[in-house]
Amino acid sequence: MQKIILTAAAFFFCLITLAQGGNKDELIKQRLQLKKEIEQTEQALNETKRTTKENIVHLNHINRIIDLQGNVIDNITGQLKYIEDDIYHSQREVNKESHDLDTLKQEYAKSMVYAYKNRNNYDFLNFIFSASSFNDAIKRITYLKSYRNYREKQGDNILRIQALLGQRINELSGNKDKKNVILKEKNHELTELEKQQEEKVKIVAKLKGREKELTSEVIKKRKQDAKIKNLITAMINREIALATKKKAEDDRIEREKAAKLNKPTTDNSKPDVVARPKVKERKQPEVASILVNTEADRELNADFERNQHSLPWPVDGFILVHYGHNAIPGTNVVWDNPGVTIGTQIGATVKAVFDGEVTLVNFMEDKQLVFIKHGKYFTVYSNLSSASVQRGQTVKTGQIIGKAAANDDGQGQVDLILMKETNNVNPENWLRRK
């Protein structure tokens, strides 16, 4: 029973060790990914510094870097915890094996003393021949052989425990070295975080100096957003009106069919014909939205919802301005972004994030916008230098719909707005994580 318990305990310990190993590997992968994202964001920040004055994009970049740097430090802290757990378990094993080794040495020393005291051949023979019977003599011979084997095993166990103890000590030493290396790395990352926070303070100070200019830019942005909102509202209202009209027409056709089936005969001879049973009007399935009124629409809408968090990005790039409320600390410069603003290369290809139907292609000053319907969801792609699709066209996920234009700072930019009927939705919660 004891053997079974020990085996189960060893098996459980192995499972824990394997799980910890997997978690440690995952932490290393995560840190490499975080460092990669920091590097990419730093490159974007340096590029915007080179080509534009300080603006909200600079602040968003440095905030993103600070957040990522904090995640790196948390990651290192997690790895340190695993190493400290390894050190604790290794130290326990060293203490246990040291105790086992001391016990074995004491027992071996006692057996060697006993063997030395009884080393005389006369004593050996006297022990055998003093047996009361032949069987007792055989048992005594067997005992002496077993005792000799026991002493040999004691020696082997001492050597084995000594080797295992040396291995444990090496592991303990190696884990302590790892801990020192990780601690140095953590201190380095903390220093980097301090530098980034200092950089943020400088950017915020410069932004405060441009408050009037930035306020004018925000007012202009609000006007553009309002125009886009009006276009979106008009487009969605038109789609709702078309869907309502189509549903009314479908209902009328169904009623006419039902009426024809129930129309009485005008023959006075009253033929001996069994009257047709009254056909009940087909009940339309309940739908959550008038925009989802056909089986194809329902399937498309369900597919779109199933792909939340995994939609492809409309263009290769990085986030310049996040969805929702944005503000510059210490100033009155605040605004709400109806979508997500993505920085990219001027002329970069812009692609549909999902299957759908183009419901509108329009101009906003010298830029173009593309609207795509996905059931009761709509995606709007603005700040395009050109559009390669037209209204009524069916598009597939990843299909090119246009090219990215430059923003007022001369940087490539695409704005993505996501609507659920007439309500704004955060696109960042639908795009896959890079």
Each residue of 236-277: pLDDT tens digit? 888 888 888 888 887 888 888 888 777 554 444 444 444 445
- Provide the residue range defining the domain that includes 89: 2-208
Shared domain check, 423 and 313:
yes
Per-residue pLDDT band at 13 (split at 50, 70, 90) = very low
CATH number, residue 168: 1.10.287
CATH number, residue 348: 2.70.70.10
Weakest-pLDDT range from 99-113, 191-205, 343-357, 384-398: 99-113
Shared domain check, 227 and 195:
no
The reported pLDDT for the residue numbered 101 is: 67
Contacts of 57 (CB under 8 A, 6+ apart): 48, 320, 321, 343, 409, 411
The reported pLDDT for the residue numbered 124 is: 54
| Residue 267 domain-assigned (yes or no) | no
Could you tell me if residue 421 is left (phi over 0), alpha (psi between -120 and 50 degrees) or otherwise beta?
left
Shared domain check, 193 and 229:
no
pLDDT in tens, 181-191: 889 999 999 99
| Residue 353 domain-assigned (yes or no) | yes
Q: Which amino acid is at 59?
A: L
| Residue 413 domain-assigned (yes or no) | yes
| Residue 236 domain-assigned (yes or no) | yes
d(CA 274, CA 134): 114
Shared domain check, 236 and 146:
no
d(CA 259, CA 47): 70
Shared domain check, 153 and 237:
no
d(CA 354, CA 374): 7
The reported pLDDT for the residue numbered 129 is: 56
d(CA 164, CA 355): 62
> pTM of this prediction?
0.64
Task: Compare 306 and 129 and report the one with higher pLDDT.
Answer: 306
**Residue after which a domain boundary falls, among 208, 234, 269:** 208
Is a pLDDT exceeding 80 seen at residue 319?
Answer: yes
The reported pLDDT for the residue numbered 150 is: 66
Shared domain check, 227 and 118:
no
Per-residue pLDDT band at 11 (split at 50, 70, 90) = very low
**Residue after which a domain boundary falls, among 208, 224, 246:** 208
Task: Compare 116 and 172 and report the one with higher pLDDT.
Answer: 172
Shared domain check, 393 and 311:
yes
| Residue 275 domain-assigned (yes or no) | no
| Residue 35 domain-assigned (yes or no) | yes
Per-residue pLDDT band at 391 (split at 50, 70, 90) = very high
Nearest Cα neighbor of 114 from 81, 75, 158, 144 is 144
Q: Looking at the DSSP assignment, which residues form a beta bridge with residue 311? A: 431
Is the Cβ–Cβ distance between 258 and 281 less than 8 Å? yes
The dihedral sign for the CA sequence 309, 59, 382, 225: positive
pLDDT in tens, 201-226: 998 888 888 888 888 888 888 888 88
d(CA 11, CA 291): 57
d(CA 361, CA 127): 110
Q: Looking at the DSSP assignment, which residues form a beta bridge with residue 431? A: 311
Shared domain check, 337 and 398:
yes
Helix axes 134-209, 121-129, angle to 10 degrees: 120
| Residue 273 domain-assigned (yes or no) | no
Burial class (CB within 10 angstroms; exposed 0-12, middle 13-18, buried 19+) of 337: buried
**Residue after which a domain boundary falls, among 143, 178, 208:** 208
Shared domain check, 220 and 201:
no
Shared domain check, 371 and 316:
yes
| Residue 276 domain-assigned (yes or no) | no
Burial class (CB within 10 angstroms; exposed 0-12, middle 13-18, buried 19+) of 360: buried
Per-residue pLDDT band at 131 (split at 50, 70, 90) = low
Shared domain check, 191 and 158:
yes
3-state secondary structure the chain: CHHHHHHHHHHHHHHHHHHHHHHHHHHHHHHHHHHHHHHHHHHHHHHHHHHCCCCHHHHHHHHHHHHHHHHHHHHHHHHHHHHHHHHHHHHHHHHHHHHHHHHHHHHHHHHHHHHHHCCCHHHHHHHHHCCCCHHHHHHHHHHHHHHHHHHHHHHHHHHHHHHHHHHHHHHHHHHHHHHHHHHHHHHHHHHHHHHHHHHHHHHHHHHHHCHHHHHHHHHHHHHHHHHHHHHHHHHHHHHHHHHHHHHHHHHHHHHHHHHHHCCCCCCCCCCCCCCCCCCCCCCCCCCCCCCCCCHHHHHHHHHHHHCCCCECCCCCCEEEECCEEEECCCCCCEEEECCEEEEECCCCEEECCCCEEEEEEEEECCEEEEEEEECCEEEEEEEEEEECCCCCCEECCCCEEEEEEECCCCCEEEEEEEEECCEEECHHHCECCC
Is the Cβ–Cβ distance between 339 and 419 less than 8 Å? no
Shared domain check, 253 and 128:
no
Q: How many domains does the chain have?
A: 2
